[in-house]
Amino acid sequence: MRELQVGLNQTQKVRLQSALRQLEELSSRVSNSSTASVTVADTIPVNLEDGVLKGHGTTEHNGEVVATLCGVVERVNKLVYVRTLRARYKPEIGDIIVGRVIEVAPKRWRLEINFSQDAVLMLSSMNLPDGIQRRRTAVDELNMRSIFEENNVICAEVRGFQHDGSLHLQARSQKYGKLERGQLLTVPPYLVKRRKQHFHYLEQYGVDLILGCNGFIWVGEHIEANEDEMMIDNKSEETGKPDLKFTALEMQEKAFTPFVTRRNICLIANAVRVLSVLGFNLSLEVIIDTVEASSSLNLDIKDMLGAEFCVLTAEREVKRRITLIKKKC
Amino acid sequence: MDPYQFTKMVGLSTGEKHFIWGGIAQDLRSDGRQRLHYRPISVETGVIPQANGSARVRIGATDVIASIKAELGKPSMHQPGKGKISIFVDCSPTAAPMFEGRGGEELSTELAVALQRCLLGGKSGAGAGIDLSSLIVTEGKICWDLYIDGLVVSSDGNLLDALGAAIKAALSNTGIPKVNVDLGPSPDDQPEVNVSDEEFLQFDTSGVPVIVTLTKVGRHYIVDATSDEESQMSSAVSVSVNRHGHICGLTKRGGAGLDPSVIMDMISVGKHVSEQLITVLDSEISAAEASATD
């Protein structure tokens, strides 16, 4: 994520620092002693006589187990490893991700998903537009670009690693597929936690929000699963070329996202931006809460990225966590 | 610059491009700004201690550094009463993958040429935003040569405006050492020069213009385009305007042509936007200078 720069004045700086300090205290109070956080070269206390298994992020140095990464020490029976707090996205089976097509290859699409390697979506592991279950023919292969083109943003699910180490995706449902009419945001992937729901239709805003586990977040106009997609396909066929740039401008302006929906998309997108600048976990509740806070303050959308709202959001997060802890007690 | 160069770099899908176009047509861009709104600007001065003056300007995710080095030199034969200024720009390979290797060179030269045009006026030095005659020490003999270096640290569109702002901030941060000259007995002798380590002359920056780039996307034009928006531009006009509302320079980028009436329209809008930009920039620069002296 390219970090947005916020110019804070002196009072705002002090307020932000105190909010962040409070958050730190809260998190240290919640975590018990078993989850010790370590930095590089910290010794991890272990009972060597038990025959410890040194896992990821650990090494032996002068007869001691030493951390080679910053993170939290995790112990599973004899295994000791370090779970990093900030790391590149590591896919797990069943993750819902948003990616961008970078290549149309024989029988497959290659996708950029913020992982150390590109993911592969096989033609055979996705539903065809006609919805019929059948063998993929050579004709289907030739028509692959009519489904996804280069640079298209699509949503899919992690299917698993193949034997050769490549990552495969699948899109066997109506909810997966091409994403249009909206914007893609990139946030650090550790801010998106795995949940039951990653697709959100925010009815009051008319917006689809997809929180990809890989840190790609889609905010777009809501599209009904079945019919609308067909209509869009027809439209692009009528005009002949997908490049609408030089066709009648009048036609195009009618097809633009309605202003109210666009406002909401920008609102939600800016809420996500503010939260990711501050490094807060992105969940639907927090995002909606931030959006509502900005509308209750009657802020201009662009002022959401300003210093004052950033500080306010940090202070709100402190309050939210305090109430959460109180509820638990 | 090839306007499609950026398209490859950013790689937007048709749907996203359409969304950006729609946003500009409806006067509500992806980050909630209107067409003539700038992103928040932050200025830091004195970032390079070895330089005579330096500044770092951040506009959104765009991050540039400008440094100014003054050296004593000889004025050119044609203009004995004027100093010399040269502007160089470098695009750091960390800013974008396309700047790796020799990739950034083309853009660097283009930015440097555009800055020269916007700040230094014509070849004769007429219409210069920076007063060259203030750089003279002894007419025909000694003058100051200013080397202005710009570095693009991170690029998210609107580099020219950011570099222009950084140079303005760096110039106001610049102290030029006081010089005592002992002229020899005969006019042909090389004069003896004494550069003071303690006394510095502040550079007069009230006349230095700001650059406002208007990027045309579809039928409308926007200021402070992000790189996503720049990938959709047909052409861009950069106007440099000084405090009095005078145009000091004008450049156009991009392949598509523009109707003269549109250019006139863009200039007047650019002039209007520049008033706000100058106010914002001045307050940011004075705030940065104040925090630097603390």
The predicted model gives B159-179 an average pLDDT of 91
Domain edge (last residue) among A87, A102, A121: A87
Shared-domain flag, residues A166 and A209: no
Shared-domain flag, residues A102 and A116: yes
Shared-domain flag, residues A5 and A106: no
The predicted model gives B123-135 an average pLDDT of 72
pLDDT confidence of residue B149:
95
Residue A157 falls within a domain, yes or no? yes
Q: Do B15 and A267 touch (CB under 8 A)?
A: no
* DSSP symbols for A65-101: EEESSSEEEEEETTEEEEEESS------TT-EEEEEE
Find chain A residues with C-beta within 8 A of B22's C-beta.
253, 256-257, 262
Size of interface A-B (CB pairs under 8 A): 108
User: What tens digit of pLDDT does each residue of A101-110 get?
Assistant: 999 999 999 9
CATH number of the domain enclosing B62 = 3.30.230.70
Shared-domain flag, residues A188 and A280: yes
Number of domains in chain B: 1
Angle in degrees, 0-180, between the axes of helices A284-296 and A307-328, rounded to the nearest 10: 130
Q: Do B40 and A7 touch (CB under 8 A)?
A: yes
Residue A328 falls within a domain, yes or no? yes
Cα torsion through A257, A260, A265, A268, rounded to 10: 180
Lowest mean pLDDT among A2-16, A117-131, A201-215, B179-193: A2-16
Q: Do A302 and B37 touch (CB under 8 A)?
A: yes
Return the sign of the alpha-carbon dihedral for residues B5, B10, B13, B17: negative
* DSSP symbols for A174-226: TTSEEE-SEEEEE--GGGS---S--EEEETTTTEEEEE-TTSEEEEEE---TT
pLDDT confidence of residue A237:
43
* Spatial distance between the Cα atoms of A286 and A149, rounded to a whole number of angstroms: 34
User: What tens digit of pLDDT does each residue of A82-97 get?
Assistant: 888 888 888 999 999 9
Number of domains in chain A: 3
Shared-domain flag, residues A171 and A186: no
List phi, psi (to 5°) of B204: -85, 110
Counting residues of chain A whose pLDDT is more than 70, the rounded percentage is: 86
| B97 interface with A at CB cutoff 8 Å | no
Shared-domain flag, residues A111 and A175: yes
| B63 interface with A at CB cutoff 8 Å | yes
pLDDT confidence of residue B126:
63
The predicted model gives A257-275 an average pLDDT of 91
Who contacts A247 (Cβ-Cβ below 8 Å, separation ≥6)?
A: A239, A241
Who contacts B263 (Cβ-Cβ below 8 Å, separation ≥6)?
A: B237, B252
Shared-domain flag, residues A238 and A292: yes
Its domain, for residue A81, covers 41-87
Residue A226 reports pLDDT greater than 90: no
Residue A30 falls within a domain, yes or no? no
User: What tens digit of pLDDT does each residue of A30-59 get?
Assistant: 655 555 788 888 888 887 677 788 888 888
Shared-domain flag, residues A222 and A106: no
Q: Which of B4, B21, B24, B31 to mutate to test the interface with A (most CBs of A within 10 A)?
A: B31
Residue A35 falls within a domain, yes or no? no
Shared-domain flag, residues A175 and A189: no
* Spatial distance between the Cα atoms of A14 and B41, rounded to a whole number of angstroms: 21
ipTM of the complex: 0.83
Prediction pTM value? 0.84
Shared-domain flag, residues A327 and A218: yes
Residue A126 reports pLDDT greater than 80: yes
Its domain, for residue B192, covers 3-293
Partner B, chain A 216-245, Cβ-Cβ below 8 Å: 220, 242-245
Q: Which of A3, A149, A151 to mutate to test the interface with B (most CBs of B within 10 A)?
A: A151
Residue B47 reports pLDDT greater than 70: yes
Residue B23 reports pLDDT greater than 80: yes
* Spatial distance between the Cα atoms of B164 and B208, rounded to a whole number of angstroms: 9
pLDDT confidence of residue B5:
35
Who contacts A12 (Cβ-Cβ below 8 Å, separation ≥6)?
A: A307, A308, A311
Residue A32 falls within a domain, yes or no? no
Shared-domain flag, residues A58 and A137: no
Residue A106 falls within a domain, yes or no? yes
Single out the residue of B179, B279, B211 nearest to residue B64, CA to CA: B211
> Higher-confidence residue: B59 or B125?
B59
CATH number of the domain enclosing A167 = 2.40.50.140
The predicted model gives B91-97 an average pLDDT of 84
Shared-domain flag, residues A201 and A243: yes
